[in-house]
Amino acid sequence: MEYPSKFVEEAVNQIAKLPGIGKKTALRLVLHLIKAKDENTYALTDALNNLRANIKFCKVCHTICDAEICSICSSHRRDRSIVCIVEDVKDVMAIENTAQFNGLYHVLGGVISPMNGIGPADLKIESLVNRVSDGQSEIKEVILALSPTMEGDTTSFYINKRIREITVKVSVIARGVPVGGDLEYADEITLGRSITGRTLFN
Amino acid sequence: MEYPSKFVEEAVNQIAKLPGIGKKTALRLVLHLIKAKDENTYALTDALNNLRANIKFCKVCHTICDAEICSICSSHRRDRSIVCIVEDVKDVMAIENTAQFNGLYHVLGGVISPMNGIGPADLKIESLVNRVSDGQSEIKEVILALSPTMEGDTTSFYINKRIREITVKVSVIARGVPVGGDLEYADEITLGRSITGRTLFN
């Protein structure tokens, strides 16, 4: 497609690099920005530049934060004996939203995926092993909360193998039928696991 | 939702202001930018800032361009006797892609829409009337190529009323069944118009 201006073309090309946004959507966004007030565009670009320049990763759990140590890791109200292993910061936000977990997190930054060329060394697994095996560590339990996919399971298996020798309990989040879901629509593997992993009715 | 960083929150809020992008998608884009190289974010923000700072509108046809007069209006190869009236620059690009039109354009910048508070004065209609009624004008035909919606039809009707007195031919793009479309799926109004507006088979 031929664009009416090289500035439009460059903006479209840059926006279309974002995941899930094609050239047509990008053009729509660009024309929206052109039509809107100047301040809107500058507010957007300032926010992105500030993000890029100021974003930090917690030195303990590797989540995204504004300081050296994130608010969860530095909080005195959190239970320091439990660490929940998650793939990325979205999972931290999702678990925080449930208000069912009061421990700490450890953000791996991905899962082991040979297809995408991601091995254990690309993730924050060494840092987790060091954190758990540290003499001053208060950690008593590690919860594996990775996605129930092949990559997630592989990563859970690998982490369990690495920290099994350390005297720490390793647990995994429950797999079963989702709450509110109709039983007949649950797939066989999920339903099967919900039966083998059944718990006492209380 | 609580964000792990105020920079993430601000970036999400700004991106979510774009049309068709909600907070969840915005967060996904922000996390993508954080994960990607620094240069990607800066290339994006530079492109948007350059767009905002340098974009111009053609003084003749009001389309988006890089100069005072756009490449179509300043071209010697275009037929200066026909002007096609369109809603916005996307329509110019769409018609140019058909390679079926060699005249000039006039971009209104919208259509009359009382529901959205857009009246004739908000559009480039006066500019069109001046352009057509100018003594030195070579324009012999005006093609109304607005969307076949209530707003588009209202705008076409208004423009026709304004330029009818000027000795210029006013035409409207054909409405009928789309090429490649199955007749039974065409709606009644379109099918009805395709019959009343039938042309000689050649």
In a domain, B61, yes or no: no
pLDDT in tens, B100-144: 999 999 999 999 999 999 999 999 999 999 998 887 888 999 999
Q: Nearest Cβ partner of B90 from A5, A31, A71?
A: A31
* Same domain, residue pair A99 and A171: yes
Q: Give percent of chain A above pLDDT 70.
A: 100
Q: Do both A11 and A94 map to the same domain?
A: no
Binary contact (B50, A14; C-beta < 8 A): no
**Cβ–Cβ below 8 Å for B52 and A30:** no
CATH number assigned to the domain comprising residue B41: 1.10.8.420
- CB distance A11–B51 less than 8 Å? yes
Interface-testing mutation among B32, B38, B44, B56, with chain A (most A C-beta atoms within 10 A)? B44
If pLDDT is split at 50, 70 and 90, which confidence band does A133 have?
A: confident
Candidates B38, B50, B89; nearest CB to A4: B89
Closest approach of B110 to chain A, Cα-based (Å) = 10
pLDDT of residue A174: 87
Query: A with B: how many residue pairs have Cβ under 8 Å apart?
Result: 159
- SS3 letters for chain A? CCCCCHHHHHHHHHHCCCCCCCHHHHHHHHHHHHHCCHHHHHHHHHHHHHHHHHCEECCCCCCEECCCCCCCCCCCCCCCCEEEEECCHHHHHHHHHHCCCCCEEEECCCCCEHHHCECHHHCCHHHHHHHHHCCCCCCCEEEECCCCCHHHHHHHHHHHHHHCCCCCEEEECCCCCCCCCCHHHCCHHHHHHHHHCCCCCC
Task: Find the mean pLDDT for residues B24-35.
Answer: 91
pLDDT number for residue A2 = 79
Asked if A50 and A10 sit in the same domain, the reply is yes
Residue A62 lies in a domain: no
B12 lies in which domain range?
6-54
Residue B145 near residue B175 (C-beta atoms within 8 A): no
- Verify that B157 and B111 share a domain, yes or no: yes
Please indicate, yes or no, whether residues B135 and B94 belong to a single structural domain of this protein.
yes
Residue B83: which pLDDT band, with cuts at 50, 70 and 90?
Answer: very high
pLDDT at B2: 79
Please give the DSSP secondary-structure letter assigned to residue B31: H
Contact flag B93-A4 (C-beta cutoff 8 Å) = yes
Residues B21 and B93 occupy one common structural domain: no
**Measured between CB atoms, which of A45, A71, A88 is closest to B49?**
A45
For chain B, how many structural domains are there in total?
Answer: 2
A66 within some domain = no
User: Looking at the structure, do residues B49 and B82 belong to the same domain, yes or no?
Assistant: no
Judging contacts by C-beta atoms under 8 Å, the chain B residues touching residue A43 are 14
Residue A114 in any domain: the answer is: yes
**Phi (first) and psi of residue B45, to 5 degrees:** -70, -35
pLDDT recorded at residue B15: 94
Q: Which of A14, A41, A70 sits opposite B52 (nearest CB)?
A: A41
Question: pLDDT for A35-73, tens place per residue?
Answer: 888 899 999 999 999 999 999 999 999 999 988 999 999
Radius of gyration of chain A (CA): 22
Q: Which residue of B has its CA nearest to A18?
A: B29
Report yes or no on B63 lying in a domain.
Answer: no
User: For chain B, what is the mean pLDDT?
Assistant: 90
